[in-house]
Each structure stands twice: as structure tokens, then as C-alpha cells.
Structure 1
């Protein structure tokens, strides 16, 4: 459903090809004019601008990153073999994280086969959505609490990412319609809760973002410059930026979207209001909880989410949650769900490695530091806004960290930021725009659930509300964190 939605909302119009040619032609003309006038364009700046432009022109993110990285390398004087080698040699770190994503995807699909989410949705819908009592305030706050809890668990305790949304939300649309609940507030709750949980809690996807990506890249770039950060510092550094996200969610609930909004009670919503309760055999129920507990234990004991997801997948298969012969099919579905993220993260490591190989990161940092001077407040604000601009282009915070780290870490050290402030700026700059990007899996997942009856627009009802409420508060609180940490 999510992939289909991405195609529907991101499909190019008949004039997009002409616009793309015009924009690329204009960029080429500016580049040639600058070179002719003797102005040297920094290879890192060139690569990032080209990557963002290609993403905005709806070129696949993976292709945009490869093309931009190679152009930056060639502009810096590297030969094609040298640029290709620099790109390929740095794919390994990203590939390790990407494989974890693939295994989590397989585990998520296997969990969905257990019927637990359908059972939960059916029980809630049957209990809350049968009569006029479903118009009470208690029902609304129960739903809000459910959405927050499910979003947090989907990133940490039961790492299924956005797979729960198209299963949990549609059966509750009838209840939400009777409550006259504005679906935009639900989109904000889902986006803010998901974003906050993986940025703050070091389990599941949080362990990947904080420890395997943010920590690794900060140390990889910072160690030669004298910066060393530890895993214990990650949640401390991200606490204030996350408070900004949660503040945005509170504003959406109590201010922006508190007024009732009417939706048509479509046949689909009426049908979903009372779905059949799935029957789950006791053995499958026990096996599901054992698989979840095993995945959590592997994270806590070995800090290995890949191993936990794999063991959980095998436990569900052995217990008959799905047929043994269907393992390939389940794994393939999980691969499809996470493939885009895994590929982007893998290529992002090569992108960052090639930018470093150009040798133009240091001159860019020096020029930026000279421009900013001793004004750390201005430097922090600029880094956050640039990070927002980059991440909004392709909608993935996990892939943004390797791109930003080679520039942001040296710049933070040059401006005198502390290790905690450096991590806060890097992590927040990468995460800004993840919730609110048209291409983000978070906003696509929210639309996939809330638009099940065709009454929730992806851009107007998911992208714009989540962008405003998840990012404005985060920019302010991340800037404060950079100043006080």
C-alpha cells in the first residue's frame, strides 16, 4: 500500500520532464558561467546542490546521490576510476545497517501475519465504536494514547516501523468519523511520536539511528580532530531537540486541530467500523510474544538488532504463524518494504566517503567558519536550516547523517561547540524534515492508513501539518541545545 501510494503521490506530470530539463539547463549555465569568470565552486557544495535538485525533480534518490557524488568527485579533479573507487570503498558501513533494515522488514511482515494488530484494532473498534457513546472525550483520548503507544513501540520494543499504520488505522476510521476527529491531528501524532521515539530511545530503530549511524559517523569524522563521543551521550544530546517535536504534537492536539472536522461515512469506513475479530491459536499467540521478547533481549544483551529480528522471524516460522514454505515470500515482502531505506543508507555512506576523498571538505569548513566568525548562534541556526533543506529532499534522517557529518563535525569543532552540542546539531539537522517530507516513509505511512476511504490528502493533510508541527519546535529546541550543552 505504501509503495502504491508513493507512486500515486509522486508520479510525474506531463510537464515535469520539461521543467526538469529547464532546471538542469539553468544549473549547467550557472556552473559554466562561474567557471568562466574564475570562481571555483566547492565540490561538496556542488554535489549536495545537485543531489537536492535531482531529488526535487523526482529523480530516484539513489540515482540522484550517485550522480551528484560522481559529479562532485570529477569537479574536484578525481578521475572516473578514482571517484568510483572512493564511492565503492565506503559502501560497507551503510550496507551493514541496510542489512539490519532488511531483516527488520522481514520480521515486521512475519509479525503482521500473526493477526495481533488486526485483533487489537477489532477489539478497540468493537468496544468504542458501536453506539453514540463513542462521541465522548474519553474515547478520543483513548485513541490518542493508543496511537502514541503504537508509534513508540513500532520503533523500539516491536520494530515494525510504519507497517502497523495501514493495519491499525483503517478499522478505526468509522469511530474517528463519529467523533468528528480531524485526521490531521492523527497524522501529527503518528509522525511526532515515531520521530521522537527513534531519536531518543536507544532500542530498535533508535539503536540504529543513535548508535550505529549517529555515534559511528560522529566518531569516524571527529576522532582525527580530537572529538570522542560515547553511546551514553546520544540520548542526552537529543533530549532537547526531541522535546521540540513533542511540543509540536501538543500544539497540534490542543490548538491547531482541536476543532471538529466532518468526513463522509463511506461504505469502507462503515465496514471497517466493525471488522471481524481474527482467531489466533494459543501457540501462535505465545510464539509471537516469545519472538518479540527474543528480539528485545538480543538488543539489550548483544546490541544486535539484526540477530534479534532474524531469531524472531525463525520463531514465528517454526510456530506456524505462517507456513514454512512461505518464508521466502514473507522475507521478500519485508525486503520490498525496507529496500528503499536500506539502499539509500548504503549509498549515503559512499556519498559521504567520496565527498571526503575530494579533499574539499576542509576548505568548505574553513570558509564557513570564517563567514560565521565567532557567532555560534548564527552557525547553529544555519546548520539546522541546511539540514532541514537536505533531508526534506529525500525524506530519510538515517541517510542524512553520513552526508552531513563530514561537514558539520569539523565546523562544530571550529566554532567551539562541545561534544554534546555537536551531536545535538548533527542529529537534529539530519532528523529535521524526516517527518514532513513528501517522500518520507513516516508521512507515506500516515496517509496509507488515514486515506483508506479516500478522504485524506497526502500533501495537504499529512505532509504540511507534520512538517510544521514536527520541525518548527525541533529547530528552536535544537538551537537552544547547541547553545546550552
Structure 2
């Protein structure tokens, strides 16, 4: 197994990510390494030369990228939609109205933040863009209530991760479609409804993790109150034509994705609605699109190169050998499920993207799950949870970078010790435990 091109390639990718190599570059290097070590070549070439193998590796990689074109387009259009919303005061007004009702009791405050964070993934798909708007003005309130910011980080990360894992709307529709596509690419036929009917179970360990974190971090913690000059007087903001147009765009995007199950179509029509209502100024259309690409473009390209990487892993023929070795090492469902989730944890922490992990692990997990006797439902759950594990806790993940960007506004919140480690403990450990039990014994 140690000479297996798939095994060497994945280990190389993890090492590069650990040493903070750019994620996209790490995947590209690992993909080329897998192709060269596997000696992949066109079927009519019996003894390929180095140049033939390299050329075929690159072409396989590029062709494999097409598998995630819809996902990449979804990310870009959703980024444009989020950028357009952020250029209005809609999110600020919405958050300000809600924040008036969440400052009375500590536990209600934290739960409310988790719920608002959930909205950013499905209802108003602005991703982490709401955090710099919401959190800095509330820091003074948190300091007075002596709230431990580690609890706030856990609440925000819960809302950034749980909706896309469990609910097929917004970013969740992208996530669930990715699972469906990659399982089909690896010879297991499933539908979107199959995935959605299983993945809601992943919300259970996340809720347990949130409840545990809020209990553990319930004790008062002192912070120094530092006066910050915030640019806006939030109380004087009102809904104007731009804000109503943005709201109309959100509603259109939400309804279309529900009706047709297509996030790109929903996002596109939402953007057109915002242009027609002048929420997106015609003369500033390029600026809005550039902002959206800046917000989501890198993640979209990570999705593309991850799909290309998965294509090369399948082409090497090393997956079968690795599956047999892993099945022998696992010895049964319970150990097999645990090992698969652990591998998913390592890959996702390295890459920092649950979405980018799916094409890589699906190529290995689909045949391995069949070899170990897992049902299709259990395989769906294993792939979904294995991809989600590590999103919380990864220093490179938006689910941790977002909360830190708001909580460290006054320089009193450490990214690793106050966000990454707490979210790793309270979300990844329950996901591993419940993921192993559910897949091995219940599904």
C-alpha cells in the first residue's frame, strides 16, 4: 500500500497543506504526482514514456474538471448575489432589527447568533459576509455580559456549517448535489432526494456539539472594552429602493431553487431581478461581479481542481488496491467507518473546504463502502459527514476564518486557540462518534 499512487498522492497533499502550501497548488502537485506514479496513458499506448504520461495526466485532469462546472458556476453567481446584497444596507438593517431582541440573556443571545448564522447559508446566502457587519457592534454588549467569545465562535461556526450539511437549499444544495454527482461518477446511482433524506441526520451531532459548547463556556470571561469607530449609525438605517430590490432578488433566488432544484438558475434570476430593480446599478455591474468573484472565485476554482484530482485518482487504477488494503485493515463496518471519517477529517482540515473534499474521498469511499458491505444510505452519510468533518477546526476554513474576523475586531480573540480548537473539539468529535454509529448500525 505504501507504493500505491493514490496513497502517496493523498499523503503528499496533506503534507503540503500542513505546511501551508496554497490549497490549489497542493492539489495540482498531488494530482500530477498520482498520474506520473500510476503511469496513466491512453489505452492504445502499452509502454508510455514520461512525456506521454505527463500529457495524458494533464488532459485527464482538465477533462475531469468539467464534473464540477455547475458547482463552480453556482459559487460564482452566489458570490455575485452576496456581493450585491452587501453593497446595500439590507443585511445591516435585518441584523440590527434582530439584534434588538437578542441582548437580554446570555444563552438566548448565543442561540440567536447561531440562528442568524444559519440564515446566511440558506435564507439570505451571504455566507460569512454578515459577520463583519453583525459582530463588531455587539462586542461591547458581549463584554458587558461577560460572554466567553469561544462560545460565540462555536455558535457562528454551527450556523455556517450545519445548514449546508443538512438542508438542500443555498449552499446546502451545492453540497448535496456534489455528493450525488460524485457517487454517480463512482458507479453508485443516487438522487438528490436520496442524499437529502439522509444528510439531515448530520445535524444531530452538530446540535449536541453546540449545546455542549455553550454549557462548557457558560462561565463569565473578562474582556477589555475598546471603543471602536463604527462607520454607520445603525438605528437610522431605513429600507430604500435598493434594499427592496435586494430583498426581491433574494426571494426570487430562493423560490427558483425550490421550484427547479437549480442554484445557478436561482442565483442568475435573483441577480437579474436586482439589476431590474436598480439594486445593482447598471454602471456598477462590473464592480459587483468583480466583488462576487473575489468573494467566491477561489473556492469555485478549488472545486474544479478537486474534480480533476478525483478523475486522476480513478484513472490510476490504484483505488482498487487501496480499497482492498483498507478493507483488510478495517476488518468490519465499525472500524471501516471510523477510518473513513478520520481520513476525511485529515483531508478537509488540510484543504479547508468540505466541498473540495467530496470529489477526492468519493473516488475511494464508494468502492470501499461496497467492499465493507455498507448500504447506499450509509455510504451517502459517510461521504457527507467525512467531507464536513474538519471544516470546523481547520485554520484555512471559512467556517473558522469568518467568526475570527468579527470576534478579533478589537484584537482580543485568537484564531487558533479561541476559534479553531474549540470548534474542532465540539463539532468534529461528535461527528465522528455519531457518523460511525449511524453508518455502521442504523443506516
* Short-chain TM bin: over 0.9
Alignment-derived partner of residue 65 in structure 1: 27
Q: What is the alpha-carbon distance in structure 2 between the residues aligned to residue 219 and residue 387 of structure 1?
A: 19
SS of structure 2 residue aligned to 1:277:
helix
Q: In the alignment, what sits opposite 1:208?
A: 174
Q: Given the alignment, which residue of 354, 369, 373 partners 1:416?
A: 373
- Contact 2:111/2:155, CA 8 A, preserved across alignment: no
Moved more, 286-295 or 394-403: 286-295
Root-mean-square deviation over aligned CA pairs: 1.9
Structure 2 residue 235 is matched with structure 1 residue 262: no
State the match for 1:476 in structure 2. Answer: 433
For the 8 Å contact 1:55–1:394, the answer to whether it is kept is yes
Q: Is the 8 A contact 2:252 2:273 kept in 1?
A: no
Q: Is the 8 A contact 2:70 2:264 kept in 1?
A: no
The alpha-carbon deviation at position 242 of structure 1 amounts to 2.4
Report how far residue 277 of structure 1 moved: 3.0
User: What residue number does 1:48 align with?
Assistant: 10
Structure 1 range deviating more: 454-463 or 145-154: 145-154
1:221 is the counterpart of 2:186: yes
Pairwise mapping of residues 46-445 of structure 1 onto structure 2 (< 5 A)? 46-78=8-40, 79-123=53-97, 127=100, 136-137=104-105, 140-210=106-176, 212-222=177-187, 227-254=188-215, 256-268=216-228, 271-272=229-230, 275-373=233-331, 375-445=332-402
Deviations 1:66-103 (A, max 9, x none): 11110111111231111111111101122321111011
Deviation at 1:274?
8.7
- What's the TM-score once normalised by structure 1's chain length? 0.85
TM-score by length of 2: 0.93
SS in 1 for 2:396: coil
Secondary structure class of the residue paired with 2:224: coil
Q: Runs of 4 or more off by more than 4 Å in structure 1?
A: 271-274
Any conservation in 2 of the 1:171–1:275 contact (CA below 8 Å)? Answer: no
Q: Whole-Å Cα distance in 2 between the matches of residues 343 and 305 of structure 1?
A: 17
Structure 1: distance between partners of 2:198 and 2:311 = 25
Gaps of 5+ in 1: 1-38
Tell me what 2:47 maps to. none
Whole-angstrom CA distance in 1 between matches of 2:219 and 2:330: 44
Kept in 2, the 8 Å contact 1:115–1:278? The answer is: no
